[in-house]
Amino acid sequence: MQQTRFLDKQSPPHILTLVICAGLGALSLNVFLPSLAAMAVHFGTEYHVMQFAVSGYIAGTALLQLVIGPLSDIFGRRRVMIGALLVMLVGTVVCLAAPSVEIFMFGRLLQTTVVAGFVLPRAIIRDTVPMESAASMIAYVTMGMSLIPMVAPTVGGTLNDLFGWEANFVLMLFLGVLTLLLVSADLGETNKTPAASFAAQFKSWPDLFRSRRFWGYALTSTFSSGVFFAFLGGAPFIGTAIYNLTPTMLGVQFFLIAAGYMVGNFIAGRYTKRFGTMTMMISGSVVSLIGIMVTALALLTGVDSATAFFAPLALTGVGNGLTLPSSNAGVVSVRPKLAGSASGLGGAITVGGGAAFSMIAGAVLTPGSGGWPLLAIMAVSTVLAIAASVYVRQVERNEEAAGAQANP
């Protein structure tokens, strides 16, 4: 493991820097969620069009990860991170100055480069530590990062109530500049064996695609994250149209699920080395399913309130916090020399699936449907995550058995 010295760009970055990079990405995704209705009024458009600022943004980040991972394998983690932050800042300015919803969406498209804050920390960690340690370290990074979605929607809703929706993007701009300064001072290059070219990187993709372990880990991440992305797509509508929550109170509901995510990350960071990645992945999905079932039971028994609906879903946050560090560590450990490409490709699959879940959730909900369609989507996604984890466990057992027979 390479030694880290804070604010020394000749050494690997401090874990705080990785947390802040990931946190900025989370902020850009969800700080303005309580303002979606107000933004739709401002731009004179329908709510479902404005919701594309979430689902379209998620889809854009999925595609961009296909490029950012290989770019960092070629040009290094540091230069790609700095470039991505600069483009994100330009996009934020465009959003603030946008005279129409079309220009605003273009600014959101530019903001998607902040996804480097999700992709590159995983690759940086895998550059410096082995798989089990990587899962633990990723858990601690995401635990720190989860503080942002815990408070961002609440802060965003409050800023909206006090100053209007634009205040959320002013906050993004300010924090983006601070993050850029920190990265410039602290993020030392960790990619010591850069790839020769894009062609060489993309030629390596079939090797990843042929790996059943890669697909098992990637699909575990996809379906586990799908629970959260479906929540992102459906919760604003349920909170405002069904339970008549104010933007500030809607932000509090996001606080609950993010708090659960932080708890799950803490448990994963502390116990993954002891119990192993497979145990954490499967147990996380089971915990998530329990949360969904508790909310469904509340609705079935006539306990229909915002608290009864949202509070049990905090367990889905706990489940994601347990599952995702191990599945992400698995993705970048299948082929360690392709950590950047694997992180980007796995992230694209995960976020692309998440965008689909988010759009489906936003499309199927109506005032008359209640929260049942959202719970159904989240439950199906969780069951599929369990199946993917069981699959990759079986693949690894088969590979170990084959190895033992080949080397008696």
Task: List pLDDT tens digits, range 279-338.
Answer: 999 999 999 999 999 999 999 998 888 889 999 999 999 999 999 989 988 887 887 777
CB 348 within 8 Å of CB 314 = no
Q: Name residue, tokens 């943004």.
A: 57
Chain centroid offset of residue 221 CA: 10
Number of H helices, E strands in the chain: 18, 0
The CB density around residue 161, as the number of other CB atoms within 10 Å, is 16
Percent of the chain having pLDDT more than 70? 93
Selected residue with higher pLDDT from 340 and 75: 75
Region at 98 (left for phi over 0; alpha for psi -120 to 50; beta for the rest):
beta
User: Considering the chain, what is the average pLDDT of its residues?
Assistant: 85
Region at 7 (left for phi over 0; alpha for psi -120 to 50; beta for the rest):
left
List the domain boundaries for the chain. Answer: 15-190+204-402
Per DSSP, the three-state class of 5 is coil
Q: What letter does residue 335 receive in the DSSP assignment?
A: S
Examine the pLDDT at 58 and tell me if it is beyond 80: no
**Which pLDDT score, from 0 to 100, does residue 242 have?**
87
**Which pLDDT score, from 0 to 100, does residue 290 have?**
97
Examine the pLDDT at 407 and tell me if it is beyond 80: no
Q: What letter does residue 12 receive in the DSSP assignment?
A: P
Examine the pLDDT at 403 and tell me if it is beyond 70: no
Flag the least confident range among 4-18, 217-231, 264-278. 4-18
Flag the least confident range among 51-65, 229-243, 373-387, 388-402. 51-65
Examine the pLDDT at 84 and tell me if it is beyond 90: yes
**Which pLDDT score, from 0 to 100, does residue 76 have?**
86
Q: In angstroms, what CA-CA distances link 331 with 90, 145, 224, 334?
A: 31, 20, 14, 6
**Which pLDDT score, from 0 to 100, does residue 2 have?**
57
**Which pLDDT score, from 0 to 100, does residue 389 have?**
95
Whether the model pTM is above 0.85: no
Task: State which fold the 15-190+204-402 domain adopts.
Answer: Growth Hormone; Chain: A; (1.20.1250)
**Which pLDDT score, from 0 to 100, does residue 198 have?**
67
**Which pLDDT score, from 0 to 100, does residue 85 have?**
96
pLDDT mean over 50-74: 81
